[in-house]
Structures are given as C-alpha cells and as structure tokens.
Structure 1
Amino acid sequence: MTRRPNSKQKPATAPAPEQSEKPGFAARKVAADILGNVVYKKRPLDGELEAGSGHSGFRALAGNDRALVRAIVGAALRHRGEIAEILERLLDRPIPEKTGRVLDILHVAIAQMLYLDIPDRAAVSLAVDHAGLDRRARPYKGLVNGVLRRLGRERDELIGDLDPILLNTPDWMLESWREAYGEDTARRIAEAHRSEAALDLTVKEDPEAWARKLEGVVVGGGSVRLLKKGAVDALEGYGDGSWWVQDAAAALPARLLGDIAGQSVADLCAAPGGKTAQLAAAGANVTAVDISKSRLKRLEENMTRLGFSVATIVSDLRKFEPEAPFDAVLLDAPCSATGTIRRHPDVPWIKKPYDIEKLTEIQLELLDRVIDWVKPGGLIVYCTCSLEVAEGEAQATAFLDRQAGRVELVPVVAGEVGGLDHLVTNTGYLRCLPCHDAASTGDFKGMDGFFAARFRRL
C-alpha cells in the first residue's frame, strides 16, 4: 500500500532555503558526501566524479561547481593525514560514530582553509550550515563552528611541526617503499604525492611543434607536458584528434615493442586506451581487450575521435582465448595503482596490503597465459602502474624463472626511453617513480610510477 505524505509534517532534514541556496553550499555538500563515500565505502574517486554515472549530486552541479568539488576532494584526500592530526589536536575527545557527516564536513572545511585559496569565513560558514542541515550532525553544529574558528586563530601553532610525508602516507605503504628504494627515495616519492600530476599529451607527430602551439615542453622521450592547465577539450588539436592525454611514464611501455607497423598486436586490459592509440599510431593492427564493457566503450569513443580503427573485445583475460597468436602483446596488468597517487589521491585510503596479494596472483596467472598468445619470437611487454616491487620486479623475475626455456628477457636500454637513463635498472627493467625527472634536461620533475619488462617467446 502506498502511503500519502503528511503535508503537515516536514522532514527533519528539510533545508532552510536561505542556507541551501547560498553560493557554493551545494558543492561543499557534494564534496563531503563524495569524501565519505571514498574513505568509508571504498568507492574509487574516479567513479564518483564520472560525469555520466557518478555521484548524482555531482552530476547535477554546474561546471564551475564541479571543478570546485574536484579541487576540494583532491586536497582533502591529498592531505588527509595532516587534517586528521590537526583535528586530533583540536578535539578534546574523538567524535562518536553515527554522527552523520561531521568528520567529512570538518575535513572539507579544513582542506579549503589550509590548502585552497578560499577565505576562512566562507569555509567556516558553509560547514556550519551543512552540519545544521544534517539530522545526525546537527548536535555538533557548535563543535564544528568552534573547531574551525580555533583553527583560523591558531593555525601556525597547530601545523608548524607536522610531518606531511609521514602523516599522509599509510604506514604499510611507506614501509614498502623504504624497503624497495631506501629512506630518502621513499620520502621523495611521498613528497611528490603532495602535488597534482602534470597534464601530459601523446601526439601523433612532431612533439616539438605541438609543444610550441600549446605552450608546453617535450618530456619523457616524446610526450608534451603542458605548463598551464585548462579544459582539455578546448585545446587546439583536440577536435582534430591530433593527440590524447597520457602521462609521460604511461607512454613508455608501448614504445618497447619497437617497429610494429603491419603487425598484429594485442593490448590487454586496454581501457581507457592511451596505449591502444600509441599502437595504432605506430601502424599496428590492434586488438584491444578489456573486462569492462563501459570502459571499452569509452576506448572506442576515443579511437573514433583520434581516427583509429581497432578491434575491441570485452572479456576476462583469465577466460579469453584469441583466434590466432599475435605478433606482440602488451599486458598492462591489473594492479594497486600506487604509482598514480598524484592523479588518484584516493589510492592510499582505499588500498590495503591484501589487495597487493590478490593482484599479484592475477598478474601471475595472466603472464603465464599470454605466452601462448604470441608467436614464437614475438615480444611480450608486461607493465603495471604500481610502485610495489611485488607487482613489478619480483613478478617479472619470478616469471622468467617459472618459464625458463619458454621466454627470455629483452633488456630495456636508455636509448629506447628518450635518453632517460635513470629509468632503466641494472637488470634491464623500466622503473619510473613519481619523484623522477621527466626530461633529460631542465627541471621537469614528476611522472607516474610505472614498471615495465620486455620478454621474447622462444
């Protein structure tokens, strides 16, 4: 039976018009909702910010408010450890559970006050309004006001001795990097994560010319790094399909296949399609395989814009069987994505050590399967956007041991990666870190963390 609403009784959470209509209020509310969904429900930030299928409140916002939400949530996640420590210093006792969005409201407000160019008055006022409109958070409205005003008065004393590197990186993650790269490099990696990633483009031809047109610089052996950020689809060349967005490090593995013109090449776990486009631009006959139908649809849309024709297959690689072996295979395996924290600041807060364990099992299975998908003498490039040795060097070395007599390592040399000698290990693997220089000359630091190894089937 359908109940009729009681017209005399208003919902407890009904917002007061003068509050809900304040400029910027909706964006702050959505930012707090998304932050909570990411941290507590482990929803990937990209999914929440997806224009077509993401958070309903985010999709309803105007373009400028969407940009504000992205900035706020990005800052709140990038500095989450610092903000948590500040709140611990400001609160006499922890805020109880089941208090609505109180902690999320505070994190959103503090991110604005300390890390964004937003006046304290606006951040505090809208946070207090938000608490007042949330039924469970309402009893803490005064606390929200008091805490934020105190932060405004005492910020220098409260933040003066913070160690952002230790606070913003989960202990297990930092310890993994210390063990792999040493204390100094581990700290430089964590420091790099405090800044947003640059916007890099892969161009079809003449990187130098496009760098001049778009006021950028050539990095990473052929990528164009923009020195100014803006709407990507408003840049020259977007509509013509002259380039695509791809981090300089992510553009390196596909180049390890060498001259592939006219060859049949499989791009496995292909979406969103940056590497697929590289392979197609190099003249290969590309088959792109991905488990996600929606992500593969986006790949197809990208290929249409770029003017490339590729075959696409929706399939779980653990069940996939090609009709015929390929000349070469590029396996961008599922991984923890810890190398992409600069552009995905949710990763430290949604990934756990057991995720690495599960993913390494999948990587192992896929590596062993793809041997039979490439012709004898053909190349296999295995890569992950992970900083974890278990998903990179250890996985590749174990593969060589396990498949001795069937595959051999084809070492990477500096000349293949734009002269970036520091990215090539003594073993002949490719290892990029977020703190690495992205160019052989000049001060252009920063790239995604990436690992790649190249094998030949015997």
Structure 2
Amino acid sequence: MDIPGLPARRAALNLIDAVLRRGETLDQAGGSALARIKGDADRALARAIAGEVLRWRADLDALIDSATRLPLADDAKARAVLQIMLAQVLRLETPAHAVIATGLPLLMGGPRRLAHGVFSTLTKRAVTLPEVPTLPEPVMERWGIRAETIAAGLAVPPPLDLALRDAAATAEWAERLGGVSLMPGHVRLPRGIAVEHLEGFREGAWWVQDLAASLPARMLGAGEGRSVLDLCAAPGGKTMQLAAAGWKVTALDNAKRRLERLRENLERTALEAEVVLADAFTWEPQEKFDAILLDAPCTATGTSRRHPDVLHRIAPRQIEEMAEIQTRMLARAAEWLKPGGTLVYAVCSLEQEEGEDRAADVELTLAPITAAELPEGLSPTGEGWLRTDPGMLAEAGGLDGFFIARWVKG
C-alpha cells in the first residue's frame, strides 16, 4: 500500500545521493529524481528536505554520531535516512510521527530498528541544531577567516529579490508588493511566494534577480544608446538591466535552452537586445563595443544560500578549471573593447582564485568601484573591487557572494 508522502522522501534521498556520489547539482538531479512525483507541493518538499540536509549535513551527522554506539559509515543508507528524518523535525517542523511513518520505509530490508532507535533517542533528548551551520572542512579551509561570517548567512534560504524595469518606480512597487527596497530598482519580498501570481509579472515590470547579481550591470551606469556586450548572458537578468538602462545590448551565450528563456524574458518585459547563440572562444564581433559585461562561468559557490549542493560538490580541481576559462574569457573580452571602453568582470564565486587572482592579472586601467554605487552597508575593497558574501547585510536578509571588478581600456 502506498504511504502518503513517501515518494517525496524517496526523491529527497535520491537528490542527496546524486549530489554527494555523482557530483550533480540539485537542478541536474531533479530531472530524474522528481520525475515520478505528482504535484508541485511534493516536488517542493523533496527539494526542501534535500536542501536542508545539504545545508546542515555536518551538524546532522554530529547528532547521529552522538546516539550510536558504533559509528555508521559515511555512505551508509541508514545515515542518509536519519539525516532526512532529522532535517524534517529540526528544520521543517514536521511532526515526529509523520517523519517516522515516511522515513523508516526507506530502509525496507535494512536497519530500520537502528534508525528508529537513534531517531527516538535524539527526539527524546530534544536536540537542536546550532544557530549557524558547520561548513565542510575543505570549504572552511578554502574560505579561511571569512568562513564563519559566510556560514552565518547560510542558515536559511534567501528571500525573493526583484529587479525593476523602471528604477524610478521603486517606491511604488515596494508599496504595491508589500516589500522593502535596499537600493533603487530593487524590491525584496519574503521567500516562498509564487512569482507568476505577483502583480506586475505579466506586464514585465520586474524580474527575479538576487541583489548581488544585479550589481555587475549597475557598474556600467546609463547606456545612452551606446553598445554593450553581455557575455554569458542567459537567462537574461543582466541583459534586461542593461536594456532598461539605455544600452544597445548584444546578448551572447552558448546554451540554446537558456537563451530561449532570455528571449521569453525580453518579450515579457518589452525590452530589446540582439541575441546571439555562439561560443565566446570562437565567435568574433563585427564591431568593438563601448562596454562589456563578463559574468563569467564559475563554481557558483556564492549561491550556496539557495544551492547548498555547492558546499559538497566543488573541489580545487573545479576551481582551477574555472579559473583557466575565466582568464581566457577576460583576454577575449579585452580585445573586443573600444579604446576608452569599460569592462566589468563578475563571478558568483567565493573563491579567491576566481575573483581577486583573476582581477590582479588584467592589464587594463582600473576604474575603482565606489561606495556611492552600492547598497548601504556594502563597501569596495582597498583595491577598488567589490567582494560580497552571504553574511553581509544579514539583518536585511543577506545576499549572494560575488566578486566584481571594473576597468577602462586606454
């Protein structure tokens, strides 16, 4: 007999396994893991359970180990099931009886009695998780003194940020949507809202874009009809920002499906851009550009608030590979700039190798980022770059981790 809620828990188990064992993203794993689940609510539940396990995995393991006489193997199915069960009780506030009813069947033919005993022991102790998740040791080593502050920003999934087509209407849209604004052209709402049902969606008055992700395009200012190349443009948030700011935009990407989303977003917002499907390493523009925005491919560790899988998937090898791609793309972009043109480089990564180290090698004239261009509470670095991380603006809901730098071609 089918147990209500069991498919969602089984899907969560498969999502976690895909991330930890195969190195897939949650989005990649979702295609197969969620395929048999009926209903958006159960799919969302499976994603939520998996996300909380990945966010708090080290702390969940510490609790499990405190209640077992002999340690479970790191890859033991019983450990994974217990992680899922504890995440529901401690993070999603699921009643213990429902957790047991949908968790133990995942161990059919396995150590169900052991899992039940560990779970019961911990719930009787009324255990809790720390206020701040413990990061995996390799991540702590990479992030060094920044790790504690960053971890504080990962405790909960992020709020919903909207970028407005008309920055002059910021106060109006903040009031209409019941949100707050941290800078012109931005409105922040609580998470969990159905975006397509919000006022202004159908008429394209705004689009979803994390506050930090909106900063690179802002560093180019008003376009006044000048030409800009948005490299790695899909799914289109930066392209729409630039078009709304008066730039003549060429939006280039090598991902066909993501470019289709970009075209749909442009149509919904009634903004214009020339969309180009091409590989940045083989494509050549007919004319050089007044400005180029390179939001480069990266490890995306800065998005760990919403994608906690990156805490477990990314290792030095991936960082090194991305740094090589970024170096090559920066060199290409510099060639395509007009004299006097502006280049903005950005990555949603918290790794120094992808940010500061790449910027230090650029042989253009630095155009320092200023505090006046940023939301209150953010400041440029001493070098004139910008580094954000999830622990910043915590009282306002935080933001993703980005590195941004800007230069002018002499």
TM category (shorter chain) comes to: over 0.9
Alignment of 1:265-280 (within 5 A): 265-280=228-243
Shift of 1:455: 0.8
Match of 1:129 among 102, 105, 125: 105
Shift of 1:176: 2.8
TM-aligned CA distance change 1:93 to 1:318, over 3 Å: farther
**Aligned alpha-carbon RMSD (Å):** 2.0
Shift of 1:62: 0.2
Cα pair 1:215 1:227 within 8 Å, conserved: no
Partner of 2:314: 351
Partner of 1:377: 340
Partner of 1:427: 383
| Aligned partner of residue 221 in structure 2, secondary structure | coil
Measured against aligned partners, the alpha-carbon deviations of 1:390-438 in whole angstroms (never above 9, x if no partner) come to: 2112211121xxx2xxx201111122224x3633112211221212227
| Rg larger in structure | 1
Q: Give distance in 1, aligned partners of 2:142 and 2:219.
A: 27
Partner of 1:32: 13
1:46 to 2:31 alignment: no
Partner of 2:138: 172
Cα pair 2:302 2:350 within 8 Å, conserved: yes
Partner of 1:335: 298
Q: Give distance in 2, aligned partners of 1:227 and 1:60.
A: 27
| Aligned partner of residue 111 in structure 2, secondary structure | helix
Partner of 2:58: 81
Cα pair 1:220 1:249 within 8 Å, conserved: no
Mean CA deviation greater in 300-309 or 366-375: 300-309
Q: Give distance in 2, aligned partners of 1:115 and 1:268.
A: 39
Measured against aligned partners, the alpha-carbon deviations of 1:322-379 in whole angstroms (never above 9, x if no partner) come to: 2221121000011121111111111101111221111111111111111111111111
1:449 to 2:401 alignment: yes
Show structure 1 runs of 5+ residues with no match: 1-16, 133-137
Q: Give distance in 2, aligned partners of 1:417 and 1:396.
A: 19
Q: Give distance in 2, aligned partners of 1:197 and 1:220.
A: 17
Overall identity of the aligned pairs, in %: 40
Shift of 1:445: 4.1
| Aligned partner of residue 211 in structure 2, secondary structure | coil
TM-aligned CA distance change 1:236 to 1:204, over 3 Å: same
Partner of 2:370: 413
Cα pair 1:434 1:446 within 8 Å, conserved: yes
Q: Give distance in 2, aligned partners of 1:68 and 1:228.
A: 15
TM-aligned CA distance change 1:361 to 1:232, over 3 Å: same
1:188 to 2:146 alignment: no
Cα pair 2:299 2:322 within 8 Å, conserved: yes
Q: Give distance in 2, aligned partners of 1:344 and 1:413.
A: 30
Q: Give distance in 1, aligned partners of 2:81 and 2:276.
A: 43
- Give 2:12's aligned amino acid: A
Match of 1:139 among 110, 119, 126: 110
Partner of 2:221: 258
Partner of 2:283: 320
Cα pair 2:131 2:155 within 8 Å, conserved: no
Partner of 1:135: none
Measured against aligned partners, the alpha-carbon deviations of 1:116-167 in whole angstroms (never above 9, x if no partner) come to: 11001111121112221xxxxx1322222222222222243xx57x6854xx
- Give 1:432's aligned amino acid: T
User: How many equivalent residue pairs?
Assistant: 408
Match of 1:68 among 45, 52, 69: 45
Q: Give distance in 2, aligned partners of 1:223 and 1:27.
A: 35
Partner of 2:253: 290
Shift of 1:98: 8.1
Cα pair 2:370 2:379 within 8 Å, conserved: no
1:394 to 2:357 alignment: yes
Match of 1:111 among 67, 70, 87: 87
Cα pair 1:265 1:328 within 8 Å, conserved: yes
TM-aligned CA distance change 1:141 to 1:357, over 3 Å: same
TM-aligned CA distance change 1:280 to 1:451, over 3 Å: same
Shift of 1:210: 0.5
Show structure 2 runs of 5+ residues with no match: none
Shift of 1:241: 0.8
- Give 2:401's aligned amino acid: G
- Give 1:424's aligned amino acid: P
Shift of 1:456: 0.9
Q: Give distance in 1, aligned partners of 2:52 and 2:35.
A: 17
